[in-house]
Every structure is written in C-alpha cells, then in structure tokens.
Amino acid sequence: MSLKGARERTVSTGGVDLCVAELGDPGQPTVVLVHGYPDSKEVWSEVAGRLADRFHVVLYDVRGHGRSTAPRPLRGGFTLAKLTDDFLAVADAVSPGRPVHLVGHDWGSVQSWEFATVARTEGRIASFTSMSGPSLDHFGHWIDARVKRPTPRRVGQLLGQGAKSWYVYLLHTPKLPELAWRGPLGKRWPGILQRVEKAPGGDYPTSSLPSDAANGAWLYRDNVRARLRRPRPDAYAHAPVQLITPQGDAFLSERLYDDLERWVPQLTRRTLPAKHWVPRTRPDQLAAWIEQFVTAVEGNRPAPKTTARHSDRFGGQLVLITGAGSGIGRATAFAFAEAGARVVAVDRDTEAAARTAELSRLIGAPEAWAETADVSDEQAMEKLAERVHREYGVVDVLVNNAGIGLAGSFFTTTPDDWRKVLDVNLWGVIHGCRLFGARMAERGQGGHIVNIASAAAFQPSRTLAAYSTSKAAVLMLSECLRAELAARDIGVTAICPGIVNTNITSTARFTGVDEAEQRRRQKRSARLYGLRNYPPEKVAEAVLTAVTTNKAVVPVTPEAKGSHLLSRYAPRLLRRLARVEPKL
C-alpha cells in the first residue's frame, strides 16, 4: 500500500516526531484518520484516496509506529494524555483555528474517544467516526454495570467479551509480545490477515511491523487496566459521533455499544457485514459513510437518521431491483429507500420505474434513479450494467425480482411458452447475477444478491410445470452461487414467496385456452389472491432481513413455509397434493 501524491511533514511534540501525510485541498474540511494496532497510517490508504477529492485528508503514524519516533522510555510513553497531546499538535499544524473531523479504527478509535470526550479538545473536533474501538471509559462502565447488576444475559455478555479479549491479557505479559512480534508472528502477520480477515495481506508494510507492534503493546499496558478500573464519570462526547460496527468483529462484541446513547447525545449507528479490519476490506462503504456524515455536519444539517428499521445497515448503499415498477419489486425498493439506501429501480415499463424512483426519494432514499430494461434481453442488460457502473457505481445489493407467471398443462405449453417464461424468470436472473455480481466480486468488498424464486420451486403442481421449473432453477442457481461467492463475502439468498397480492395474477398467461377463457382465469386468480391479501410489503421486509442475516433460503407466507417443511420432511405428501386439480 502507498499514499500516492501525499505531502509529508514532521510534527514534533512531547519528545517524539510524528510523520504526518496530507492529501487533497487544505482549503476543504479536514478529515484526520487515526490508525490502530499493529498498523501504521498506510492502513487508511484506500479510504484516504477516496476521500481526497472532497476533503483535506490527514493521516499520521501514532508515536512508536511507522515513521514516527517512539518515546523513551517506552513505559508511560503511550498514555491517553500523551496521545491527546499528539493529536492536538497534529490538528494545530494541519488545521489551525478550524475544527477537524476525526476518524479512528481499532486503537485509533480508542484514543479518539479520549480526544472526543476530554474538555481540552472541545472545539477542535467537528465530528468523530468510530470503528472497532470503544472508549475505555464507556467500556469500564459497561463492565461495572454487569458486575454490580448481574443477570444471565449480562453475565453472558461479560463472559463473551472476556473471551474475545484474550489477546489483551497476552499483551500485558512482560517480554512475550515483543518476542512474538520479532519472531514468527511478525513474518506471518500479512498471511494471517489474508486468511482470517480476507484482507489484502501481500502489500502489508512489514519492514517496521515488529518494532511497531512491540512498541504498541504499551498502548495496552499504559491504559487498559488503569482506565477500566477507574473510568471517568464525565466521558460525554462533545461532537456528533458516527459508530460503524463490523458484525463479524472477532475482538469486540456488538453489545459493547448498547448503552452508548447515554454518552453520546448525537449518535448515528452503522453496521457492516465484515470483520475487524474494515479500512482494508470495505474502503468504499467507509468512505461513503464518512463523506455523508462529514458533509451533513459541515452543512449544519442533521446527521443521517438511523432510527428506521435496517437503516444502520443499508444507509447510503446502492441497491438495484429489477421488476421494480410494481408488486414485490416496488415494495422492496420502498423498503430499501426507507432504510436510507440509494435505489436503482429497473423495469421494462419506463413510467412505472420512474414512479417507483420518485416515490423512493420521497420515502427516504438519498438518491433514486429509474432505468428501463427487459431482463430477458442480454444486450439490454449488458448496456444497463455498463450504465449503472459508470454513473452510479458498483451495486452493494442486487435484487433479481422481475418475473412472469404461466399456468397450464405441460402438453399445452408450447416451446415458445417455455422460452418466454425461462427467458424472464431464469435468464433474467442469470443476466443480473453475471453482470452485476461479477463487478461485486471484482471489487472485493462484499455484497449481496437476492433472487426472487417462489414456493413453486419446491412445491410441485400439475398446472405449473414451466413456472415451477424456472423457479426451481433459480433456487438451485442461488445455492450454487452462494457456495462460490462465500469466499468473497458476497451473500446469496433465494426468497420463496407463496400467494402474494400482486398484479402477476392479472398478467399471468394460461396455456391451451382461448382469449375469453384467458381473461376469465386471470380475473379469478386475481380475485383469489386479493382475498388472500398477503401484502408485498411483507416480502420486502423478508428481503431486507434476509440480507441482514445472510439467510440462504427464505420461504415467505405461511403456505410457503409449510410447503418448504413438507418438501424436506414429508415429500410424498407434497407429491400427492400436487395431483389435485385446481378449480380454475
């Protein structure tokens, strides 16, 4: 990694020389990025590059790390008070007279919580974005509350975090961390990151790693035990805070932040389906959230709301939905919009797509666009993908929803009927997964694909041979893709609705009948589905929940759940039910 085009300077404070790098226009708001342990400022290179077009970006090597010198002696040289002195010296050098926007990861976040809560920095910090590093004061009060008022749930939380903190105990052991980092651990660390965190490890700056990591052990020794035993009672943040929590963090429990509103009057919460080293694995999402937050604070606007369901997870993400002009597709677009996502509504009906995009903006999407495409048309989908990637970026969540209905006997279903239903229901999904999923995989920062299948995928019917075949293929495609893309942190979900009140019934085709009978059956099906009255909004909610929890197969509606259970535990009964001829 490297900070291309960075301007470097040295800031001297408290007997150490800090290496400071700057990117972007100094006339723009200043964003200060503080790294963690055992990193150096280069851990931020991907995030910094993405922010430099909009902001004055500043990075510095924490004392004893990278190209900054270490205090002598080491013991007592890494206290939070001295780290605060370093931050103020950097802030005064790079942004005199103007508050800075602070961003910290891991120990960079731990020390930044100190900066954002002590009185002497008040007025120097405009906002603070925290990730993977709690305030030691808040942590101390969190422990104290669970020790003094134990319940089974609180004791479980305490024990769970204690297990995650195993490395803290080792770092307090005399000499052992220094020997480990100067031995095999220092040499193998990049490979460990690559395997465990799925973070790029081959370009990790290893030349100073052993000494940096050995020095950094004193961050723990100088601060952790003392502050956890006697946490400050007045550790209130004096600036707006954005908390970004990786859901797969191996070192910190999400429960650590349960009481954070007590300490932070202006709090915005975000969650990421990622592990600990998010500056390296999720730079696009971090940069987008930091930019959104800083821009809101600079403009004296309210910080992005994260009170709506799922808004902490999807706020600012780019979501593309096919078949978004009506039914489940439109409801799903609205659900993502309410969660603060940016929405691309795709439909072959231009006016319907435009209406969905317009309403999505009114509901809460910061941006929403309408695109026209027939998912069965390979060339049209290729042009759509090219346009979306060029104008809006790589999609974070793809929802392949577009579909058509077809009913009738296998022997009255013509080859043309088969082609039409497979072109939309199966090939439309294949085109979406191939064109948008490939870019997700190339980006290497995770994502999620949702394919709308159907309960018909596992529930045979004597009148739905073509439709059920197309949906069963979508289900198996989803399972195969899920296996292939798991290593790239891309989830794949098959949503399997049952009878949902949408207009698919009024547009479904029936084979082997004349036009008059076609219309009669369409009206009857629409009436029956209307009487069932299961709203598409419930399917949309299932989509967002499935992405959040990374579920593989999600049957929706009671009958879909029942059929799914029968398909697994009583398939013979399901086959008998399939023989019943429905009254049309």
DSSP three-state, residue 371:
strand
Nearest Cα to 20, choosing from 67, 55, 72, 80? 67
Could you tell me if 117 and 260 are in contact, meaning their C-beta atoms sit under 8 angstroms apart?
no
Q: Can you state the angle between helices 107-117 and 209-229, rounded to 10 degrees?
A: 50
Which residue type does 488 have? R
Could you tell me if 460 and 574 are in contact, meaning their C-beta atoms sit under 8 angstroms apart?
yes
Q: Indicate the helix (H) or strand (E) that contains 6.
A: none
- 293 is written with which tokens? 């937050």
Question: d(Cα 459, Cα 563) in Å, to the nearest integer?
Answer: 6
- 342 is written with which tokens? 């940016």
Q: Can you state the angle between helices 136-148 and 107-117, rounded to 10 degrees?
A: 90
CA–CA distance from 439 to each of 388, 389, 435 (Å)? 11, 8, 7
Could you tell me if 183 and 262 are in contact, meaning their C-beta atoms sit under 8 angstroms apart?
no
Can you say how many angstroms the Cα of residue 570 is from the centroid of all Cα atoms in its chain? 38
Which residue type does 310 have? H
Nearest Cα to 373, choosing from 389, 359, 392, 353? 353
Could you tell me if 47 and 283 are in contact, meaning their C-beta atoms sit under 8 angstroms apart?
yes
Angle among Cα 266, 278, 45 to the nearest 5 degrees reads: 100
Could you tell me if 246 and 132 are in contact, meaning their C-beta atoms sit under 8 angstroms apart?
yes
Which residue type does 479 have? E
Which residue is catalytic, options 60, 204, 257, 467?
467
Q: For 274-326, what is the HEC assignment?
A: CCCCHHHHCHHHHHHHHHHHHHHHHCCCCCCCCCCCCHHHHCCCEEEEECCCC
Measured in degrees and rounded to the nearest 5, phi and psi for residue 225 equal: -65, -40
Question: d(Cα 52, Cα 30) in Å, to the nearest integer?
Answer: 10
- 533 is written with which tokens? 């009255």
The number of CA neighbours under 13 Å toward the Cβ of 437 is 25
- Residue 57 contacts by C-beta under 8 Å, 6 or more apart in sequence? 22, 23, 24, 30, 31, 33, 48, 51
Q: Any idea what DSSP says for residue 62?
A: P
Can you say how many angstroms the Cα of residue 5 is from the centroid of all Cα atoms in its chain? 29
Characterise 123 by phi-psi region: left (phi > 0), alpha (psi -120 to 50), beta (else): left
Could you tell me if 329 and 402 are in contact, meaning their C-beta atoms sit under 8 angstroms apart?
yes
Q: Any idea what DSSP says for residue 194?
A: I
Say whether 467 is catalytic: yes
Nearest Cα to 432, choosing from 481, 492, 468, 382? 382
Catalytic residue numbers read: 467
